[in-house]
Amino acid sequence: MSAKRPDAVDPRGSKSPEVLGAAAPDAAGIDGSRSFNTARARRASLMQEPVLVLNATFEPINVTAVRRAMVLLLKGVAQAEELHASEVHSSSRAHKVPSVIRLLAYRHIPQQSRALSRKNILLRDRNTCQFCGRIFSSGELTLDHVMPRSRGGRSSWENLVACCYRCNNQKGDRTPEEAGLKLARRPRPFTLHTSRQLMRLIGHRDERWRKYLFY
Ligand SMILES: [Zn+2]
């Protein structure tokens, strides 16, 4: 547990693998018996389940993984508002698994809170090519400068979009209009509003999140 980050809210967003449920792989080793490994695998996947993080004011601000959420609870930085049915067992005791946690101290979240990065652009565009509208894995997508760099297009939230290689080749060094392509939607900065839309998408999986997200 890192003392540097007192809670799940990484205002830069770029370095946090836990943001919006994309949890880092569990580091648990594979060194026990087969049945023990099965139990471990189950625990590892449970530890990566998404947990909704609320500000002290109950405003939803982030999504983290169970593992991280439990650290925040143990540190006394947050308290559980909703619990999963399941428990995890440490050597000495059983811990209830949170589904929604709330920070005990209010944290100011800047409106424009995300670093401009490939990861965050793909997240904003939901891994969807902004020209053909198809969903791809991250490895199958590139970033396209809507106004090509060669024509003065900047690397900015407003000028970068997720794009599949096929559309990227087709577009080449042209504007979408010149290439006969149409943007699915106008690219915008990744704001708290964007985060909330994503939280709602994830939140459809968990009934316990609804009252915090759908109002
Ligand atoms: Zn495409």
The reply to whether 8 falls in a domain is: no
Residue with more model confidence, 215 or 62: 62
Whether pLDDT at 38 is above 50: yes
The reply to whether 14 falls in a domain is: no
Residue 68's pLDDT band, with cuts at 50, 70 and 90, is: very high
Residues 126, 129: Cα–Cα separation, whole Å: 9
The reply to whether 207 falls in a domain is: yes
Same domain, 152 and 103: no
Structural domain of residue 94, as residue ranges? 19-111+193-213
Same domain, 203 and 106: yes
Q: How close is the Cα of 115 to the center of ligand 1, in Å?
A: 24
Nearest to 21 by CA among 44, 55, 51: 51
Q: How close is the Cα of 49 to the center of ligand 1, in Å?
A: 30
Model's pTM, two decimal places? 0.58
Q: How close is the Cα of 130 to the center of ligand 1, in Å?
A: 7
The reply to whether 186 falls in a domain is: no
**What does the pLDDT average to over 87-116?**
84
Listed in sequence order, the residues at least 6 apart from 24 whose beta carbon sits closer than 8 Å to its beta carbon are 17, 18, 65
**Amino acid at the residue 159:** N
User: What's residue 8's pLDDT?
Assistant: 39
The residues whose Cβ lies within 5 A of ligand 1, an ion, are 129, 131-132, 164, 167
Whether pLDDT at 165 is above 90: yes
Residue with more model confidence, 191 or 64: 64
Same domain, 155 and 57: no
User: What's residue 56's pLDDT?
Assistant: 96
